[in-house]
Amino acid sequence: MRILHTMLRVGDLDRSLRFYTDILGMKLLRRQDYPAGEFTLAFVGYGDESAQAVIELTYNWGVDHYEPGTGYGHIALEVDDVYQAAADVKARGGHILREAGPMNAGKTIIAFIEDPDGYPIELIGKKP
């Protein structure tokens, strides 16, 4: 077994695609409209779905806002240098929730950013 994808409901698909591709550097892997169900699915990621987990962005036509809820945690992305990655996100117009630095009660370097719909994304430094 393996993880295929994480699904997020988004209020503006074009805005979310710009964030995940332009700010986080993912690629749009596929996108399809489902007129009978009045929704669009777009899959983004850093590599082919056959080998890597991806993010499914679900846009329900006519719904422009969702609340992440108290049960949702975050998506985690491994990066070479958290300080640089957070600075790059900020320079591209991304929103930083927590600046890069050691995690609480630990030594791992992390930062948190936020996507356009308010979903937190953790940047975690590669472990040696």
| Residue positions annotated with a catalytic role | 122
Across the beta sheet with 27-34, the strand order is 5-9, 54-60, 39-45, 27-34
Structure tokens at 45: 């990621």
The whole-angstrom separation of Cα 58 and Cα 64 is: 12
Across the beta sheet with 120-125, the strand order is 75-79, 120-125, 109-114, 95-102
CB neighbourhood size of 31 (10 A): 14
The dihedral formed by the CA atoms of 79, 2, 33 and 42, expressed in degrees to the nearest 10? 0
